[in-house]
Each structure stands twice: as structure tokens, then as C-alpha cells.
Amino acid sequence: MILDFAKPLDMRTYSPITLAFVGDAVYELLVRQYIAQHMNAPANKLHLKAVERVCCTFQSRAFARIEPVLTQEEADVFRCQNMQNQWNTGGQLVWKPYLVICT
């Protein structure tokens, strides 16, 4: 596989699910970096702290905090993704946070 980083990307051409897939990976990497910088602990404890912060409940609270500064387009993409995923529950979905965002 050859990655072409020089190719310009128009993110508006990607589906919300694809954007969420990439966004989740970026978000988890940022969370892991933050935890590693602020916590010196065994790998299992670091992992548990990361899982706590990337779960849907934490992301729901984080969204509520940043929602006022999002553009309308950014907020619409986020809401569209959650509407598409409300029936695709995955393994650890907590319904209440998603329903709050999707309304």
C-alpha cells in the first residue's frame, strides 16, 4: 500500500461514517498522547483511562462543550453521523447520550 499524502482531500466528498472512522482514530491518538504526557502508569491503567475517555458517554459530554464553537456544517456532519449510527449499536453503546445529541 502506498499512501499519497500529496493528494488534496475534499472532506465533503466522504460519508459521515467514513469521517467518523478516521475521526475516532485521530481522537483516540490525541487522548493517548494526553494521557501519556500526564500519567506515568502501567500500560493496563493507561489503556483503561483511554477507553474511559473515548467511550460514547465521554464523547457526548465533549461534544456538548464544543458545540457552541462549531460551524453549522460541522455540527450537521456530527448529527448526521449519530443519526446513521443510532440503529448500529456496536458493542458498548450507551443510548442516553446518543439520544440527547440526535434530538
Q: Does the annotation count 76 as an active-site position? A: no
pTM comes to 0.61
pLDDT digits (tens, 9 = 90+) for 41-52: 999 999 999 999
Longest dimension (CA), the chain: 41
Identify the pLDDT of residue 47. Answer: 93
Identify the pLDDT of residue 5. Answer: 75
Looking at per-residue confidence, does 95 or 24 come out higher?
A: 24
pLDDT at residue 100 greater than cutoff 80: no
Task: Choose the catalytic residue: 4, 10, 24, 76.
Answer: 24
Neighbours of 54 (CB within 10 A): 16
pLDDT digits (tens, 9 = 90+) for 52-96: 988 878 888 888 898 899 998 888 767 665 555 544 445 544 444
Q: How far apart are CA 27 and CA 4, in angstroms?
A: 22
